[in-house]
Structures are given as structure tokens and as C-alpha cells.
């Protein structure tokens, strides 16, 4: 009996040693308990949003569903640990940020998860400034939720420098946080107004981040954490959708809706959508990883499926599917269940039918949101994010944003009024002035002519509306201040800290009633508010050359940008052939060589470009074409005379803003456009054959160019420049060129109103000067004839 007990104990100890060494020996340092992978066959899911049709996890689940027949054993994909981005959050929503002048500031909203808000300890700013900036009187100024952080001197002219500012406990909160980043700069030696344009500080997106005391930089738990995706070190946001079933064309439409829903939740200004069929091999900051498909499809890509996805529609974050990455799983046992999960994500960002927006969402890059002005309205600057401030320098500047509707039509006659509340000291000399800029264009100038100082109380400043566009408009107020002390500019004199100028937030911007009528083609309306694809009685027809990763990525990126501009998802219907589009609004994606010739002709594009575009590296570049034209102008008869006429036209345009288009009687015919060889991507828009729909084509020489071209064109700095009927992008020079529409079609968007049609006529006649002149002369002639007949019938001869 005793021998049996000893034998049993020996066998137990041997089996224990064998079990303990069944895993390979690991010499790596110990990881925190939170980073240890869970058992791969039964991952524990965090609390998720309860979907209406979701089956409780306690329901019995067939084991065969989690491991398809013939599939290899489940393995949890592990990514590299110790990523420094786990403890930081890049905060700039811009690909580049330059703060210029004596004072400049940017203000935007940053979303944080609960763990990130609790763990944030400091803010790091990477920057480089102009050599002429005086460090002793120049500062970086940062605040979070109106809590100012420690000021830091601007003193890094030779190379990029870094400063760290401690974030006070409790300054941040889960959800939206307002971040303000600005500079106060002074010149080292020069006191002229011109010298203020030499002051700049470049802020580096890759070195500007929030630091955490825990690995929470890329950890998400609830659906609302999607807003905290943020940006990468280049200021860009990426949404990577892993769709193992992408090859099935039936899945394309739901996946495009998913992409739009995610883009509307992140609301970032520079985001792109990328489709892939395999999970990523590395985790990146500013990237939302989404795994979408049926539970069986997800199992083939991840080898692990959340139990909830086996039972019903499921949308939630998982930290065990892809090691080190909080992946958003959108799944279900069937394709219908996947669509239900997608609907659950999309429903909260959709606007009820019949409701309209009161503001355009800009807070991710400019806080507050831009109010949408639809009619006569007075807006106090305090409601536009401008605060009362005092200024002691030479050039004061502040800016704000407002929104205009898609059918805005007042670019040739309208005037807004800035009712300015401001004050200036007795130091200010005559010759100083206050300027108003609209979208970077000078719109009004008011001289300051009184000596001895003064106070403006609702001083009316007329601001031309010719530079307003549909969508977001940026308005800047700039005060150029001249003093005797600046003229003398004594060496060694300390910087003056006595305020010279004050702007009060009781100032108001008055926007009068303006003409409202839609026009097409008009890429400006599309980039501003997503017109005409933001709403309609029927879904937008969508044609894809092929359903592959490049084409789907391009379509999802552009659709998502339109959804953000329009404030709601774009309803689409995939069509198999362009002939099935009919006469409705449509979007086309593909290479130009594969586009139907009828579509190319309908958009007034050269048919030959389908073959000739980018076919040779010897294509004539625009600069060479211009030189060749100038050479021939000197050779032909009358070249001198025609050259003088051309110079005269340029002089009229430069000094009086008069061009041949201004003096036209009626709009000219559309010219057939041929994309030059240097262009890598093109957006073209036109009317459908029946004139009832608007067609937009996104095209490039290759599928890869299509994907990268769309990703580049939707970035905020380029997207805002789109206008006319054609927009092209040159990746080599990073430039966007636009072609204006000569004969746009007018689309009635409002019920009939005599006052609105009067304003429409006023704008059209102001645009077509000769037509206005002939109408005016005809009216005067008619008035003269009627007067003559009346006087003849009432004269002495009767």
C-alpha cells in the first residue's frame, strides 16, 4: 500500500513538471498583468452596446460555429509590445500648423476616453520659430478647457525644440475637451508693420502630443470612444476596415455605409478609409481598426470570434482579437445580422427626414461650430468664439467661421456688415487701418484717421460677399496700427506692454438676405455641404469599376467626406453598369481608360484622354506649353498687337477686377477638357443627359492613383479649394487646379419668392455686365419713348 502511494506521488510530480514546461521558456521581461493575452479559445468581451436583436451571451452557442471545418487552430495575433504611442496622444488635427504674426491662435476640440482623461499628465509641444523672434518677449500659450498651462518662451530658431507643460489634475474630462494653442511674438530689432510678417512659429504634429502615465493611448472600450481615434504623427486619421468577404460584391454597399458612419463619429478633418482583407501587422496612432463581416469570415482572418458575434448582431471593441489593438468588431452569424450591426452604428448619426442643420461641424479643427446662416441674421462675435482682448503690438488679427447654404448665390452684388466695437489709444497715428478678410481675400478696409484715440461703437464696415462660398467661410479681422514709437524704433527699448487696441466681443456680423438658387456643376457646393448628394427622394447611384481594395477605399473615402460635409450618411445604391444609373444623381469611380465613352463625353472631357493620359513620360508639361505659346505669339502676324491686348486685359484684371468674362453678354460654351500629363487624379462633374441629376466622376490613370488621389484631395487644406466643374490634383507639386463651369444649370431649391428672384436677377446681371448694360439701355429707351408719347399727347398742340 505504501509503495502504491509513493508511486502515485512520483507520477503526479512528473506530470506537474511536464505540464509546467509545456510552454516555451520566455526570457523577456515581465509584462504587466493587463497585457497578458487571454485564452485564445474563449476571449472575454468587455461590456458592449446592447443591440435590439442581440442574443444574451448565456445562450448556448454551437462549438462548430467558432471554428469552421478545416480551419487551423485559433491563434491570437500578437503585435509588438512597448509601443511609445501607447502612452501618448497626438493632438494636432492639421498636417501642418504655422502660427504667424505678433499674435495667432488655433482652437479645436479633442475627444478623450475616460482612461485617457484620467491618465493625462503633460503636454509636449514641438516647434521651430523664425530667427527674428525675440525669445525674451515671445511665448507659447496653451490652455485646455480654459485652464491655462505654463507659458513657455519661443526660443528655438536653429532646430526643432520641445517644451513640456504639466496638465493640472481635473483639467480634462472624458469626451470633448477644448484645446487652445497660440503664440505672442515680437521682432528682435525691427518695429515696422512689414516686420510682423517675418514672425512665425511652425508647430510639428509628430512632436506635439499629450502624455499619459498608463498604456491608454490606443485602448477603447465603448462605442463612444470612436470619437477618440485622433490623428497620427502627420495630423491624419485613418480608418482601416478589415473585410475578409470583400470579394463578394453584395457586401460592398453595407461596408460603404459602415465607413460613412465611422467617419461621422470621428468627425476629423483629414481622414481616409482603407479596405483590406487581412488584419494589420502593426498598430499605428490615429488609426481605427475595424473588422467587419460574418462570424465565419472573421474567424478566417483572426482565428478568434467574440461569443456575442456567434449569437446575433454585434458591434463593440475587443482587445483580444488583435494583440495590442482595440479593434472594433462589426459582425453577426449572417449577412443580415452584420447589416443590423451596421445600422446600429449609423442610426445615431443620421438626421431625421425634414430636419435641417443650424451649424456646420468644424469643432474638430476650429471651435466652435460654424453657424449656418440661411437668411437675414445678426451674429455677435462672442457666439463665434471671439473674446474681448487688448493688444499692445503693431498688427492685431483674429478670425471666426460662419456657414453658407449650398444654394448661396450672392457672389457678385451682396454685402454683409461688420458692426465693430473697438477702441484705440492716442498713440495710434493716421494711416492705420482695419481690414476684413474673407477666405483669405481682402473684403474691406477702414482707415483710422482721428488723432487722440477713439472708441468705435457698432461702426458699420461693409464687407463684400463675393468671396463667400457654400459651406464654411473663414472671416478675419486685422488691425494695422502705426505709432511714433515704432517709427523711431530706438535700439534697446523694451517691448511696449501698454494696450494700443481693444476689440470687444459685442461686435456683430450682419448677414442680409441673399439670393438662393442651386447651380450645377459646382464642386464648391459639394465640398461645402455635400450638395447634391446629402439628401434626395432616391439613393445616389454608385458605379465602381471593380470591387477591390483600391476602388472601394477611394469610394469610401470620398463618400465619407461628403457625409461629413452634409452632416449625414449618403444613401447609395450600387449599379452594375453605368446604363442603369438613369437620370438621377450618381458617383462614378474608376480609371479613365475604363470609363464609358458616353460618360466621358457627357462631362465634356476629351475622349482621347482615355488613351493618352499618362501613357508616356514625355507628355508636355504646362510650363513647356506656356513657353511654346509665347514663342509662337511672337512669330505670327499681329503678335505685337495681340500681346498688347493681352497685357491690357491683365492690367484691367489686376487693377479693376475686370476680365473678358465680366464683359461677356452671355456665358460661353463649355470647352472640352484634356487632363495634362502631370495630373494624377481628377474630379469632374456635369449634368445627366436628361438634366435631372448631377454626375460626379472620380478618376485617375491607375487604381492605386485613384486611392491615393482621393485620400489627398479630401484633406481639409485641399478640399476647401474645390470649385467649378473639374478639379485636378498633381501629386508631384502638391497643387489643385480647378476649371470653372461656363454654363451652369440653375436648380430651384426654394419656394417661389419675388424678393429671392429679384436678388437672383441682380446677381446674374452683375455677373454678365453687358447683359445688364443692354437691359439698362433698353429700359431707358423705353422710358424715353413712353415719356415722349405722353408729352406729345399732352402738349399745346392739343
How far are the Cα atoms of 274, 287, 700 from residue 707, in angstroms, in the given order?
9, 17, 9
3-state secondary structure of 515: coil
What is the per-residue pLDDT across 488-519, written as a single tens digit (0 to 9) for each?
886 655 566 789 999 999 999 999 999 999 99
Examine the pLDDT at 8 and tell me if it is beyond 80. Answer: no
Beta bridge partner(s), residue 625: none
Ranges of each domain in the chain: 85-212, 218-349, 359-517, 521-609+664-747, 754-794
- pLDDT score for 354: 72
Q: What is the mean pLDDT of residues 608-625?
A: 60
User: Cis omega before residue 532 (within 30°)?
Assistant: yes
Cβ burial 536-558 (10 Å sphere, 16+ → b, else e): eeeebbbbbbebebbbbbbbbbb
What is the per-residue pLDDT across 568-615, written as a single tens digit (0 to 9) for each?
999 999 999 888 998 999 999 999 999 999 999 999 999 888 887 865
Examine the pLDDT at 41 and tell me if it is beyond 90. Answer: no
CATH level 3 topology of 521-609+664-747: Chitobiase; domain 2 (3.30.379)
Q: What is the mean pLDDT of residues 518-545?
A: 91
Specify the CATH class of 85-212 in words.
Answer: mainly beta
CATH level 3 topology of 359-517: Jelly Rolls (2.60.120)
CATH level 3 topology of 218-349: Chitobiase; domain 2 (3.30.379)
Quickly state the pLDDT bin for 71 (edges 50, 70, 90). very low
What is the per-residue pLDDT across 302-324, written as a single tens digit (0 to 9) for each?
878 999 999 999 999 998 777 77
Q: What is the 8-class DSSP label of residue 673?
A: B
- pLDDT score for 764: 85
CA-closest candidate to residue 220, choices 108, 77, 322: 322
What is the per-residue pLDDT across 702-750, written as a single tens digit (0 to 9) for each?
999 999 999 999 999 999 999 999 999 999 999 999 999 988 999 998 8
Tell me the pTM: 0.83
Contact indicator for 592, 674 with CB cutoff of 8 Å: no
CA-closest candidate to residue 353, choices 52, 569, 531: 569
Q: How distant is the alpha carbon of residue 495 from its chain centre?
A: 39
Q: What is the 8-class DSSP label of residue 121?
A: E
Q: How distant is the alpha carbon of residue 456 from its chain centre?
A: 36
Lowest mean pLDDT among 71-80, 181-190, 506-515: 71-80
- pLDDT score for 42: 37
Quickly state the pLDDT bin for 798 (edges 50, 70, 90). low
Q: Does this chain's domain 85-212 share its CATH topology with 359-517? A: yes
Beta bridge partner(s), residue 124: 164, 209
Amino acid at each position: 500500500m505504501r509503495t502504491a502511494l509513493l508511486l502515485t506521488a512520483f507520477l503526479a510530480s512528473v506530470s506537474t513538471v511536464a505540464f509546467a514546461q509545456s510552454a516555451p521558456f520566455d526570457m523577456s521581461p515581465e509584462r504587466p498583468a493587463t497585457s497578458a493575452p487571454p485564452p485564445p479559445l474563449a476571449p472575454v468581451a468587455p461590456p458592449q452596446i446592447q443591440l435590439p436583436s442581440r442574443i444574451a451571451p448565456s445562450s448556448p452557442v454551437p462549438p462548430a460555429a467558432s471554428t469552421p471545418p478545416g480551419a487551423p487552430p485559433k491563434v491570437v495575433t500578437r503585435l509588438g509590445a512597448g509601443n511609445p504611442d501607447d502612452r501618448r496622444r497626438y493632438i494636432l488635427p492639421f498636417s501642418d500648423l504655422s502660427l504667424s504674426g505678433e499674435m495667432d491662435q488655433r482652437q479645436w476640440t479633442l475627444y478623450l476616453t475616460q482612461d485617457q482623461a484620467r491618465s493625462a499628465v503633460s503636454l509636449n509641444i514641438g516647434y521651430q520659430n523664425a530667427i527674428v523672434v525675440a525669445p525674451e518677449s515671445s511665448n507659447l500659450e496653451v490652455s485646455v478647457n480654459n485652464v491655462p498651462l505654463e507659458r513657455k518662451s519661443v526660443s528655438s530658431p536653429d532646430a526643432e525644440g520641445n517644451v513640456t507643460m504639466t496638465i493640472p489634475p481635473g483639467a480634462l474630462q472624458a469626451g470633448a475637451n477644448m484645446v487652445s494653442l497660440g503664440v505672442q511674438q515680437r521682432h528682435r530689432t525691427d518695429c515696422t508693420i512689414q516686420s510682423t510678417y517675418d514672425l512665425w512659429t511652425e508647430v510639428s504634429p509628430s512632436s506635439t502630443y499629450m502624455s499619459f502615465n498608463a498604456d491608454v493611448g490606443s485602448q477603447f472600450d465603448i462605442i463612444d470612444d470612436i470619437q477618440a481615434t485622433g490623428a497620427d504623427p502627420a495630423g491624419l486619421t485613418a480608418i482601416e476596415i478589415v473585410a475578409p468577404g470583400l470579394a463578394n460584391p453584395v457586401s460592398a454597399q453595407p461596408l460603404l455605409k459602415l465607413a460613412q458612419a465611422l467617419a461621422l463619429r470621428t468627425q476629423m478633418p483629414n481622414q481616409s478609409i482603407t479596405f483590406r482583407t487581412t488584419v494589420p501587422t502593426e498598430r499605428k496612432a490615429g488609426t481605427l481598426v475595424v473588422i467587419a463581416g460574418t462570424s465565419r469570415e472573421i474567424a478566417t482572418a483572426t482565428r478568434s470570434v467574440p461569443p456575442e458575434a456567434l449569437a446575433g448582431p454585434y458591434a463593440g471593441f475587443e482587445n483580444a482579437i488583435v494583440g495590442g489593438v482595440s479593434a472594433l468588431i462589426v459582425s453577426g452569424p449572417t449577412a443580415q445580422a452584420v447589416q443590423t450591426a451596421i445600422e446600429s452604428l449609423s442610426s445615431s448619426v443620421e438626421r431625421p427626414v425634414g430636419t435641417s442643420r443650424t451649424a456646420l461641424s468644424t469643432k474638430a479643427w476650429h471651435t466652435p461650430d460654424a453657424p449656418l446662416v440661411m437668411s437675414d441674421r445678426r451674429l455677435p462675435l462672442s457666439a463665434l468664439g471671439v473674446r474681448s482682448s487688448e493688444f499692445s503690438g503693431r498688427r492685431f488679427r483674429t478670425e471666426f467661421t460662419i456657414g453658407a447654404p449650398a444654394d448661396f448665390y450672392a457672389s457678385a452684388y451682396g454685402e454683409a456688415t461688420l458692426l465693430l466695437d473697438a477702441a484705440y489709444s492716442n498713440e495710434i497715428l493716421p494711416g492705420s487701418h482695419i481690414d476684413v478678410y474673407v477666405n483669405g481675400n481682402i473684403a474691406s478696409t477702414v482707415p483710422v484717421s482721428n488723432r487722440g484715440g477713439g472708441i468705435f461703437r457698432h461702426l458699420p464696415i461693409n464687407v463684400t460677399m463675393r468671396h463667400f462660398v457654400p459651406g464654411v467661410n473663414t472671416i478675419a479681422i486685422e488691425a494695422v496700427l502705426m505709432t511714433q514709437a515704432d517709427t523711431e524704433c530706438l535700439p534697446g527699448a523694451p517691448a511696449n506692454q501698454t494696450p494700443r487696441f481693444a476689440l470687444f466681443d459685442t461686435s456683430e456680423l450682419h448677414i442680409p438676405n441673399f439670393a438662393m438658387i442651386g447651380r450645377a456643376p459646382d464642386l464648391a457646393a459639394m465640398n461645402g455641404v455635400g450638395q447634391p448628394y446629402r439628401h434626395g427622394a432616391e439613393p445616389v447611384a454608385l458605379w465602381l469599376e471593380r470591387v477591390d481594395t483600391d476602388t472601394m477605399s477611394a469610394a469610401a473615402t470620398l463618400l465619407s467626406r461628403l457625409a461629413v460635409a452634409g452632416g449625414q450618411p449618403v444613401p447609395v445604391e450600387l449599379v452594375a453598369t453605368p446604363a442603369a444609373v438613369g437620370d438621377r444623381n450618381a458617383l462614378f469611380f474608376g480609371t479613365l481608360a475604363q470609363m464609358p465613352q458616353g460618360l466621358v463625353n457627357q462631362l465634356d472631357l476629351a475622349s482621347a484622354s482615355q488613351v493618352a493620359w499618362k501613357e508616356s513620360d514625355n507628355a508636355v508639361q504646362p510650363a513647356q506649353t506656356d513657353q511654346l505659346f509665347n514663342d509662337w505669339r511672337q512669330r505670327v502676324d499681329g503678335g505685337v498687337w495681340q500681346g498688347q491686348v493681352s497685357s491690357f486685359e491683365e492690367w484691367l484684371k489686376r487693377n479693376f477686377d475686370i476680365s473678358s468674362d465680366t464683359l461677356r453678354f452671355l456665358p460661353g460654351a463649355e470647352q472640352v477638357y484634356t487632363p495634362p500629363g502631370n495630373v494624377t487624379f481628377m474630379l469632374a462633374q456635369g449634368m445627366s443627359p436628361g438634366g435631372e441629376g448631377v454626375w460626379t466622376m472620380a478618376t485617375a490613370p491607375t487604381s492605386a492613383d485613384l486611392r491615393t488621389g482621393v485620400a489627398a484631395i479630401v484633406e481639409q487644406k485641399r478640399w476647401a479649394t474645390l470649385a467649378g466643374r473639374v478639379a485636378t490634383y498633381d501629386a508631384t507639386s502638391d497643387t489643385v487646379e480647378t476649371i470653372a463651369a461656363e454654363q451652369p444649370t440653375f436648380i430651384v431649391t426654394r419656394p417661389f419668392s419675388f424678393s429671392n428672384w429679384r436678388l437672383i436677377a441682380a446677381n446674374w446681371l452683375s455677373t454678365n455686365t453687358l447683359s445688364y448694360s443692354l437691359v439698362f439701355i433698353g429700359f431707358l429707351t423705353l422710358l424715353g419713348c413712353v415719356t415722349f408719347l405722353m408729352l406729345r399727347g399732352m402738349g399745346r398742340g392739343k
